[in-house]
Amino acid sequence: SRDAGGSSDPLVELADVEFGYTATPVVEDISLRIDPGEYVAIVGPNGSGKSTLMKLILGLLRPDEGAARLFGEPAHAFDDGARIGYVAQHASASKEMPITVREVVKMGRFPHVGFGRLSAEDHRIVDEALATVGMSDFADRRVTKLSGGQRQRAFIARALAGEADLLVLDEPTVGVDAESVDAFYDLLESLNEEGITILLIEHDLGAVTDHARRVVCLNREVYFDGPTDEFVDSDALARAFGTAASFAGGSGSSSGTGGSGGGRP
């Protein structure tokens, strides 16, 4: 389904979106369109609204103002979950869920088979997904026994098994050892070359400038949206982050009310 005729309908479309958990908006004036085949990184300081934006895109939150569409449908009503592969930060398999890598990847087929059994073809797709992410040798290992990078690969394989068109990753290399990070981004790049659209929330600016083709720089509003090389040459980063801004370490202080830690109202 991924490259079904060169349709240029956007996968994601936000129009003048505003959202707040309270009366104060945490994102506003957000208009954003992501087309098939793009590789987009969303960057911004802690508390700048990146995760909120992601939830709006995925339809997990509904805009207070404006509209969010996903695969052409209102995002909150979109229900073809297999088209989206979501890789969370610390993609932690819960400790109470000691399942194997293969079992995780098989889950990607469930939306396609309903409550039916997986066919030989489903199993072939699972094996292929494991091979693509380099996890064939770990198929029978419990997810809880994997390194951070291996775990993220397993969740990407689940998305591949589901034949996702859009891969959404929220700071996917947090907790991944440094030697594995480059290989992880190489994998994303090759998946993108095969036509999978990638939307990445990332605090590591080096990873963004090395890999993403488009950057959306956010701090409540969009400060920059365009090609990565233009972003590097712009002052958007300094403006969005303010004077104390730095991507390094990803531990800049949170802007906005409530702070970054336990400060949820």
Q: Which two tokens stand for residue 54?
A: 């992601």
Please tell me whether residue 46 binds ligand ADP under the rule CB under 6 A. Answer: yes
Q: Establish if 47 lies at the interface with ligand ADP (CB under 6 A).
A: yes
Q: Under a CB-based contact definition with an 8 Å cutoff, are residues 215 and 19 in contact? A: no
User: Rule CB under 6 A: is residue 228 a binding residue for ligand ADP?
Assistant: no
Give whichever of 6 and 265 is closer to ligand ADP, judged by the CB atom.
265
At 116, the amino acid letter reads G
- Site for ligand ADP (CB under 6 A): which residue of 25, 36, 37, 49? 49
Query: Is 264 exposed, middle or buried (CB count within 10 Å of its CB: 0-12, 13-18, 19+)?
Result: exposed
Please give the Cα distance from 151 to 70 (Å, whole number).
27
Task: Tell me: does residue 205 bind ligand ADP (CB under 6 A).
Answer: no
Q: Determine if 262 is a binding residue for ligand ADP (CB under 6 A).
A: no
- Angle 259-263-265 from CA coordinates, rounded to 5°: 125
Minimum Å distance from CB 89 to ligand ADP?
9
Q: Which stretch binds ligand ADP (CB under 6 A): 49-57, 109-117, 190-198, 239-247?
A: 49-57
Q: Tell whether residue 264 is a contact of ligand ADP (CB under 6 A).
A: yes
List 10, 37, 44, 172, residue binding ligand ADP (CB under 6 A): 44
Q: Give the residue carrying structure tokens 């339809």.
A: 59
Using alpha carbons, list the distances in angstroms from residue 115 to 119, 125, 126, 241: 12, 18, 17, 48
Give whichever of 106 and 220 is closer to ligand ADP, judged by the CB atom.
220
154: nearest Cα among 178, 130, 175? 130
| Binding of ligand ADP by 256 (CB under 6 A) | yes
Binding-site size, ligand ADP (CB under 6 A)? 15
Residue 161 structure tokens: 């098994």
- Window of 46-54, 94-102, 144-152, 229-237 that interacts with ligand ADP by CB under 6 A: 46-54
Q: Which stretch binds ligand ADP (CB under 6 A): 48-56, 100-108, 136-144, 173-181?
A: 48-56
Of 39-47, 58-66, 177-185, 242-250, the segment contacting ligand ADP by CB under 6 A is 39-47
* 48 belongs to the binding site for ligand ADP (CB under 6 A): yes
Contact 152, 88 (CB under 8 A): no
Does 51 contact ligand ADP by CB under 6 A? yes
Q: Is 203 in the site for ligand ADP (CB under 6 A)?
A: no
**Binding site residues, ligand ADP, CB under 6 A:** 21, 26, 44, 46-52, 256-258, 264-265
